[in-house]
Amino acid sequence: MAKKQQQQHQVMQQVPSVGGIRSSFQSLVALLIAILVVATIYIRQSNEQLFQYWTTYDKTINGLSSSCNLFAGKWVFDNRSYPLYKEKECTFMSDQLACEKFGRKDLNYQFWRWQPHQCDLPRFNATALLEKLRNKRLVYVGDSLNRNQWVSMVCLVDSVISPTFKTIHNNGSINIFKAIEYNATIEFYWSPLLVESNSDDPISHRVPDRIVRVQAIENHARHWTDADYLVFNTYLWWRRRQMKVLWGSFESPEDGVYKAVKLPRVYEMALQTWAQWLEVHVDRNKTQLFFMSMSPTHQKANKWGGIKGENCYSETEPVTEEGYVGDGASPRMMHVVDSVLGELKTRGLNVQMINITQLSDYRKEGHPSIYRKHWETITEEQLLNPKNYSDCIHWCLPGVPDVWNELLYAYILEL
């Protein structure tokens, strides 16, 4: 009997008390709350750091206060002075960007003005720019977002040139708008990765297996090296975990050496080739160099407080929260750009960064969405769910890229 009581006592000791279970549960809850608080603080600090990063870079311009940061500010609705041109009146508007033409009814995206906090962005003056470009070449080099900006610039100057004194010419990878009276050209050169790749055809460039020659740029660069103003971008086409690199030529692919290289290392390799070419071949007394930071995408509505699974489709207002940071751009890739530009600067070649990332991140409603020309037939399934074929990458015109060009204008006019 005593032995049985002893066994029961031992069992009772092994079974946790209700108070013990409650205490353990409370400790677990406290631990989870602590983890949540730490994670929230970390995310907030990370977003604040990203905001500071996206709104910096060398931004001092002669004639403006040295404290003026053109990239930190807010969007102000202004239907008196904007848009700077009308979509229907731009002679060379692209159907990919003509959102009003293709059925968009809410046109407020055309009326937002970028207002830096500590100064005013110089008002765009098409005649003043053309005078600055007299007998010169302004060349945009990059992907379809740089072409988006090129179309914007053409539309910005189009209205002050009479029809008989302007032409546009497409020749393979290069598109040339010419203001005859000024002997000035505003050009776009298709080179989505800057270095050579199997996506270099200006029309047939969507390939399942992207291959890049990170050490080859001369076939592109010979078209734009002697320009007076060069505006580069490259980001969109690098958005993958790794890229296949070819050491060899596309003419004899079987003789080449192939290797998959991860991001951002392969991006860095390409930019170093680009930088080396500039250092050797660009006339520093003639050519002004610019690099556009990343144009953010708006694919995830939950990032700005929308419904998870939605995107830019049906958005009609910008993000108003200052310091908002989405996930449509990559800080680690921009750090690569910073590093490469910094190295160039130490060797006496300055490339001015135009930081469009943060200001564009607010503009979730500025994309074409479904309001554009569709090059492929839209299926019935897609028609039932428009978000699935919405373009949340490029930008309606008039719109956000006009401000990119206003920033560029401010630098060109003051350089």
Give one DSSP letter per residue of 232-280, joined into a string.
Answer: E---GGG-SSEEEEEES-SSSGGGSEEEEEETTHHHHHHHHHHHHHHHH
Identify the pLDDT of residue 43. Answer: 46
pLDDT digits (tens, 9 = 90+) for 55-102: 555 555 545 555 689 999 999 999 999 999 999 999 999 999 999 999
From the candidates 220, 360, 394, 402, which is the catalytic residue? 394
CB atoms within 10 A of CB 153: 24
Element (H, E) at 128: helix 126-132
pLDDT digits (tens, 9 = 90+) for 293-312: 999 999 999 999 999 999 99
The answer to whether 394 is a known catalytic residue is yes
From the candidates 94, 144, 191, 330, which is the catalytic residue? 144
Average pLDDT, the chain: 88
4: tokens are: 């049985």
Residue type at position 277: W
Chain position carrying tokens 């708008």: 177
Element (H, E) at 149: helix 144-158
Strand partners, 260: 244
Identify the pLDDT of residue 15. Answer: 47
The answer to whether 144 is a known catalytic residue is yes
From the candidates 200, 228, 361, 391, which is the catalytic residue? 391
Single out the residue of 408, 414, 410, 398 nearest to residue 156, CA to CA.
398
For the entire predicted model, the pTM comes to: 0.86
Residue ranges in the chain whose pLDDT is less than 50: 3, 11-13, 15, 42-43, 46, 62
DSSP character at residue 391: B
3-state secondary structure (DSSP) of residue 359: helix
3-state secondary structure (DSSP) of residue 171: strand
3-state secondary structure (DSSP) of residue 284: coil
CB atoms within 10 A of CB 265: 14
